[in-house]
């Protein structure tokens, strides 16, 4: 993998990641851009103990542009975009409308492919492997920033999820705090360790491996299953066979097998509802152990895993977060996890 760092016209960092070592990325951003101005403020909720990012500048972000005005496509035929090059393998740049910025963190956009009409599921195994290397490299670089405590790589896909740009891309958030979801996991880990002397993630994965009923897919180095208490209609957790705290710690065998397993999962998600003309909206989220300032946390107890879920509960119907979910954080799942796992096994590639 070759990495080339450059700057956009407004000073934001842009990185090209290429599978070929002889790739040359010297195109210059010729757009007349003003310097980025952000108004990010982190406020702490004294009742819930969590944090809220207030980012009013995001009201002006680009919203569902036509395909010929997509800012994530390469710059071609006189049309200038966020990517000055006429082509790329994977491109990463600082978000022009970040939810976190400066001492309040950092937000990056990851463009998986120059093909506007593709999706992650359309990537080859080599392309997916390159994206994994990019996630790993960005995690390593962001984790050492003095104000960053947690790095979150994720993809939102589909207008139903709230995506405003249809080009296949993901994002990376570098938080200046440990997120509430991770704090809950860490508390559960500590309580389980204190009560049993064992690791909670290991016990959960072993339970699913023994029960089998919720296992969707298993390779030599990865296992994917619907969790026993799944929150979403179709939700899969993907774990490496060997527990590691973050992407940096994955061994070569797990990296090699990942594209096969992950691409198959994504393609099954697109077949869940039996329609070939639409793509299933989803969120894919990497859970990694916190980094800086975690002396009170045993990082080795945490288990890197990817959570993949859709808000669609059946063809043409969405799972809305209504009163119980939004008001009390109590999820009500319309699809039994065992039924979801069975359906995901039924739509396996031939």
* Segment 85-107, tens digit of pLDDT: 999 999 999 999 999 988 889 99
User: pLDDT confidence of 285, banded at 50, 70, 90?
Assistant: very high
- Who wins on pLDDT, 302 or 57? 302
- Tokens representing 82? 């966020």
At residue 330, does pLDDT exceed 90?
A: yes
At residue 61, does pLDDT exceed 80?
A: no
The percent of residues above 90 in pLDDT, for the chain, comes to 86
The percent of residues above 70 in pLDDT, for the chain, comes to 97
Is position 64 annotated as part of the catalytic site? no
Residues of CATH 3.30.428.10 domain(s) within the chain? 2-175, 180-346
Which residues, in sequence order, are CB contacts of 247 under 8 Å at separation 6+? 132, 135, 136, 139, 153, 286, 288, 304
Task: Please give the pLDDT value at position 78.
Answer: 87
User: pLDDT confidence of 67, banded at 50, 70, 90?
Assistant: confident
Which residues, in sequence order, are CB contacts of 297 under 8 Å at separation 6+? 186, 289, 290
| H helix or E strand, kind and range, residue 340 | helix 337-346
- Tokens representing 34? 């003003």
CA–CA distance, 228 with 144 (Å, rounded to integer): 35
User: pLDDT confidence of 350, banded at 50, 70, 90?
Assistant: confident
Q: How much is the average pLDDT of 23-45?
A: 91
Task: Please give the pLDDT value at position 276.
Answer: 65
Q: How much is the average pLDDT of 288-305?
A: 81
CA–CA distance, 209 with 288 (Å, rounded to integer): 22
- Tokens representing 303? 């288990």
At residue 155, does pLDDT exceed 70?
A: yes
Task: Please give the pLDDT value at position 297.
Answer: 56
* Segment 205-254, tens digit of pLDDT: 999 999 999 999 999 999 999 999 999 999 999 999 999 999 999 999 99
The domain 2-175 having CATH identifier 3.30.428.10: the answer here is: yes
Among 58, 107, 114, 61, residue whose Cα is nearest residue 89: 114
* Segment 109-143, tens digit of pLDDT: 999 999 999 999 999 999 999 999 999 999 999 99
Among 309, 305, 104, 290, residue whose Cα is nearest residue 200: 305
Q: How much is the average pLDDT of 162-177?
A: 95
Determine the topology of domain 180-346 in CATH.
Answer: HIT family, subunit A (3.30.428)
Task: Please give the pLDDT value at position 57.
Answer: 80
CA–CA distance, 201 with 301 (Å, rounded to integer): 8
Task: Please give the pLDDT value at position 102.
Answer: 83
Q: How many CB atoms lie within 10 A of CB 190?
A: 15
pTM above 0.75, yes or no: yes
At residue 292, does pLDDT exceed 80?
A: no
At residue 294, does pLDDT exceed 60?
A: no
At residue 70, does pLDDT exceed 70?
A: yes
Out of 167, 169, 221, 239, pick the active-site residue: 169
Burial class (CB in 10 A: 0-12, 13-18, 19+), 291: buried
* 8 Å CB contact between 64 and 71: no
């Amino acid at each position: 993998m070759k990495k080339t760092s450059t700057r956009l016209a407004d000073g934001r960092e842009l990185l090209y990641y290429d599978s070929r070592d002889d790739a040359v990325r010297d195109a210059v951003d010729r757009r007349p851009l003003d310097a980025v101005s952000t108004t990010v403020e982190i406020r702490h909720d004294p009742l819930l103990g969590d944090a809220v990012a207030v980012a009013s500048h995001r009201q002006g972000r680009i919203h569902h542009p036509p395909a010929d005005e997509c800012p994530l496509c390469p710059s071609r035929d006189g049309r200038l975009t966020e990517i000055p090059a006429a082509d790329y393998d994977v491109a990463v740049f600082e978000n022009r409308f970040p939810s976190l910025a400066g001492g309040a963190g950092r937000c990056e956009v990851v463009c998986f492919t120059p093909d506007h009409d593709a999706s992650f599921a359309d990537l080859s195994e080599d392309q997916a492997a390159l994206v994994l290397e990019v996630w790993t490299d960005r995690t390593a670089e962001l984790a050492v920033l003095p104000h960053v405590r947690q790095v979150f790589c994720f993809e939102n896909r589909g207008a139903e999820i709230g995506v405003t740009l249809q080009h296949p891309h993901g994002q990376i958030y570098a938080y200046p705090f440990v997120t509430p979801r991770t704090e809950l996991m860490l508390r559960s880990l500590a309580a389980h360790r204190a009560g049993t002397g064992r690791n909670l993630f290991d016990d959960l994965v072993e339970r699913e491996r023994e029960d089998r009923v919720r296992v969707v897919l298993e390779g030599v180095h990865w296992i994917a299953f619907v969790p026993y208490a799944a929150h979403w209609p179709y939700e899969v957790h993907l774990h490496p066979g060997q527990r590691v705290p973050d992407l940096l710690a994955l061994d070569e065998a797990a990296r090699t097998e990942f594209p096969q397993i992950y691409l198959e999962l994504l393609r099954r998600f697109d077949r869940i509802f039996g329609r070939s003309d639409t793509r299933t909206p989803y969120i894919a989220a990497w859970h990694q152990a916190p980094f800086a300032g975690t002396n009170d946390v045993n990082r080795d107890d945490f288990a890197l895993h990817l959570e993949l879920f859709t808000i669609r509960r059946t063809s043409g119907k969405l799972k809305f977060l209504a009163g119980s979910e939004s008001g009390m954080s109590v999820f009500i799942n319309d699809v039994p996890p065992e039924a979801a796992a069975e359906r995901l096994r039924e739509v396996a590639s031939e």
